[in-house]
Amino acid sequence: MDINTKLRVARPTDHLEDVVRFYSEGLGLVVLGSFEDHDGFDGVMLGMPGAPFHLEFTRSADKAERAPSEDNLLVFYLPDKQEWLTAIDRMAAAGYHSVRSLNPYWDTRGRTFEDPDGYRVVLQNDSWS
């Protein structure tokens, strides 16, 4: 791998519409694409146009389970304090409230939110060094 490598995080959900709302209205990600009944799967990709990552959520006839633990995290580093506060305010405006992180490290400079499937997202007011 090198600096041009792109990352897709893909996972199933039984709550596709609710999960898309959490990541779009709450986190501010953009729907980049979607598909219906592709070999029995529906899906939505979210991210930021031009960013080297995106998230894909799929739904099928098979039941998807909740997150296996409270320490399943996606961490977004927001070094600018105002940008971080705006992100937290956007989550609150969309109806999402922060939860205590299982690992207290994430509570010192971040806020943790739980999506409809029990997976957690940390908005960290720090730079990635």
pTM of the model as a whole: 0.93
Task: Identify the CATH number of the domain defined by range 7-59.
Answer: 3.10.180.10
Architecture, CATH, for domain 73-124: Roll (3.10)
Which class for 121: exposed (0-12), middle (13-18), buried (19 or more C-beta within 10 A)? buried
pLDDT tens-digit series, residues 51-74:
999 999 999 988 888 888 999 999
Strands (E), the chain: 7-12, 30-38, 41-47, 53-59, 73-77, 110-114, 120-124
For residues 16 and 64, what is the distance between their CA atoms, to the nearest angstrom? Answer: 11
Do the Cβ atoms of 77 and 126 come closer than 8 Å? yes
Same fold, 7-59 and 73-124: yes
Domain boundaries, the chain: 7-59, 73-124
Do the Cβ atoms of 102 and 71 come closer than 8 Å? yes
pLDDT tens-digit series, residues 15-29:
999 999 999 999 999
